[in-house]
Amino acid sequence: MRRSSPEGRRLAARARAGLRALFAALAVAAAPLAAAQGSVSEEIAKYRAALQDGNPAELWEARGEGLWRERRGPKQATLERCDLGKGPGVVKGVYAELPRYFADTDRVMDLETRLVWCMVQLQGYSEADAKRNPFGSGNDKKSDIEALVAYITSESRGVKMNVPLTHPKEAEAYGVGEKLFFFRGGTHDFACATCHGEDGKRIRLQELPNLVTKEGAQRAYTTWPAYRVSQGELRSFEWRLYDCFRQQRFPELVFGSDAAIALTMFLARNSNGAVFDAPAIKR
């Protein structure tokens, strides 16, 4: 996934230049190691705060709203009658209650799989076509799913996470997600828990939320999707799972798979009570 949009390149170049200057300054500092570590974390926090102004995610939100309202597909229909859990066409607050059980499909679905479902049912796309390009790369390969995710999630900003666990299939998805979270596999024996199972850890200089705790899950889950500066793209939660598994040396997580939904269920439910604050911006 390489950024190829001029906008993305400029933003990424500015971010990289800023980081290079930051690390160069710290490398020549004569400060003791512990103090240098503290200031590196502080500086990165300041850098992130500075990025908040003018989040490029807004471009995806606008494109997503356009896609929601546009007549598309073989049926030339809009998505405005799509039921994301709070009734046909209701978008406000839906992400705070996903994943959830849907009676019409008799299964638990996350936002991405529900959007695919609506594209198939309402607009007449084949499932293969709807799932063809979940993660965009540059202006020539934009992802409709990512834009729709940006729009729908933006309509839950400020809403408290309130994922239900009333249907047996919701409880099962949560339990399966928890098992998968601790599943050690691949060449490196990594599980999600290997990096995300303890307080106060980081990989290189990237702080790692402890996703087994409520506080960690809340901080992490409420800030995805996000404009990922290093990708030059708006990235969804399914992308985050896909990219974690890639780095865990697993084979490829299938987009919209039951494992993706179950893990999302586990983490989203663990974040209940926290205020959703995305689309955000990350390094």
Partner 1 sequence: MLTIAAIALAGCATTASDQEIASKATAILKQSFKPAGQAGLDRLEQDDAQRICSAAAGKPVSREAAAEIEKANLATIRYPADGKLVGDWRNGEKLAQEGRGKQFSDDPRGPVGGNCYACHELTKSELAFGTIGPSLYQYGKARGQSADVQRYTFGKIYNSEAFAACSNMPRFGYKGILSEQQIKDLTALLLDPASPVNQ
Of residues 85 and 177, the one with the C-beta less far from partner 1: 177
Alpha-carbon span 189 to 7, nearest angstrom: 39
Among 148, 262, 265, 267, indicate the residue that binds partner 1 (CB under 8 A): 262
Sign of the dihedral through C-alpha 265, 267, 268, 269: positive
Residue among 118, 192, 195, 244 flagged as catalytic: 244
CB atoms near residue 93 (< 10 Å): 18
Q: Is 194 in the site for partner 1 (CB under 8 A)?
A: yes
DSSP 107: E
Binding status of residue 141 toward partner 1 by CB under 8 A = no
**What's the rounded Cα separation, in Å, for the pair 64 and 93?**
16
* Closest distance of CB 74 from partner 1, Å: 27
Pairing of strands 233-235, 226-228: antiparallel
Site for partner 1 in 40-99 (CB under 8 A): 40
DSSP assignment of 177-196:
HHHHHT--BTTTTB-HHHHH
User: What's the longest Cα–Cα distance across the chain?
Assistant: 66
Residue 18 binds partner 1, judged by CB under 8 A: no
Q: Does 195 bind partner 1 (CB under 8 A)?
A: yes
x-or-dash pattern for partner 1, window 202-231, by CB under 8 A?
xxxx--x---x-------------------
Q: Is 186 in the site for partner 1 (CB under 8 A)?
A: yes
Work out whether 22 is an interface residue with partner 1 (CB under 8 A): no
Q: How far is the CB of 172 from partner 1 (least distance, A)?
A: 6
Which residues are within 8 A (CB) of 277 and not within 5 positions of it... i.e. 6 or more apart? 157, 158, 222, 223
Q: Quote the CA–CA distance of 154 and 142 in Å, as a whole number.
A: 19
Is 244 noted as a catalytic residue in this protein? yes
Q: Active-site residue numbers?
A: 244
Q: In the complex, which residues of this chain contact partner 1 (CB under 8 A)?
A: 23, 26-27, 33, 36-37, 40, 168, 171-172, 175-176, 178-180, 182-191, 193-195, 197-198, 200-205, 208, 212, 245-247, 249-254, 257-260, 262
